[in-house]
């Protein structure tokens, strides 16, 4: 009788632990900030995110620097995706606005026009964005 009660107790504990497991979303929507300044950065960031297993959708905005993702939390996590972006040379603003910096080696591997840490290059790109917006308004 004691064995039966013991076995039933173990089974009940197993079921209660299983029911408390957090369910992972297969279509989780996530967004975070990634540093970059141009279309080449956009392609590099989106490609790095999409190459992470479980990422279904990735779009990065040049203007807002926001990367919007749809990901399968059962296959990947946010840290894995952020590390993939860091590896291609782009800084990431993670949880609680903590900035994660790409290594100097990774940053130096980006195209010279994509050096988002260089103030002169950033200012030059801002001028290009203004020119493009004016041309769009004219058409």
* pLDDT, average across residues 28-48: 94
What is residue 43's predicted lDDT score, i.e. its pLDDT?
A: 96
What is residue 122's predicted lDDT score, i.e. its pLDDT?
A: 85
Q: How confident is the model at residue 71 (pLDDT cuts 50, 70, 90)?
A: very high
What's the number of domains the chain is made of?
1
Q: How many CB atoms within 10 Å of residue 26?
A: 13
What is the domain extent for residue 43? Answer: 28-133
Q: Is there a contact between 111 and 40 (Cβ–Cβ < 8 Å)?
A: yes
Q: How confident is the model at residue 138 (pLDDT cuts 50, 70, 90)?
A: low
CA atoms within 13 A on the CB side of 125: 19
Q: How far from the centroid of its chain's Cα atoms is residue 87's Cα?
A: 12
Q: Is residue 77 part of a domain?
A: yes
Least confident of 17-21, 40-44, 85-89: 17-21
Q: Is residue 23 part of a domain?
A: no
Q: Is residue 17 part of a domain?
A: no
CATH code where residue 66 lies: 3.30.70.100
* pLDDT, average across residues 25-51: 93
Exposed/middle/buried for 54, CB within 10 Å: 0-12, 13-18, 19+?
Answer: middle
Higher pLDDT, 137 or 113: 113
In the chain, DSSP assigns E strands to 28-34, 55-60, 66-71, 92-93, 99-100
Q: How far apart are CA 41 and CA 38, in angstroms?
A: 5
């Amino acid at each position: 009788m004691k064995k039966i009660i013991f076995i039933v107790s173990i089974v009940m504990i197993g079921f209660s632990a299983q029911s408390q497991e957090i369910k992972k979303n297969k279509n989780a929507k996530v967004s975070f900030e990634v540093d970059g300044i141009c279309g080449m950065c956009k392609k590099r960031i989106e490609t790095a995110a999409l190459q992470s297993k479980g990422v279904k959708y990735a779009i990065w905005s040049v203007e807002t620097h926001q990367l919007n993702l749809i990901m399968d939390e059962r296959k990947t996590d946010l840290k894995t995706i952020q590390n993939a972006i860091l590896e291609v040379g782009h800084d990431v603003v993670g949880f609680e606005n903590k900035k994660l910096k790409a290594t100097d080696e990774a940053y130096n591997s980006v195209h010279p026009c994509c050096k988002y840490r260089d103030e002169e290059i950033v200012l030059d790109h801002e001028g290009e964005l203004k020119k493009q917006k004016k041309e769009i308004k004219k058409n």
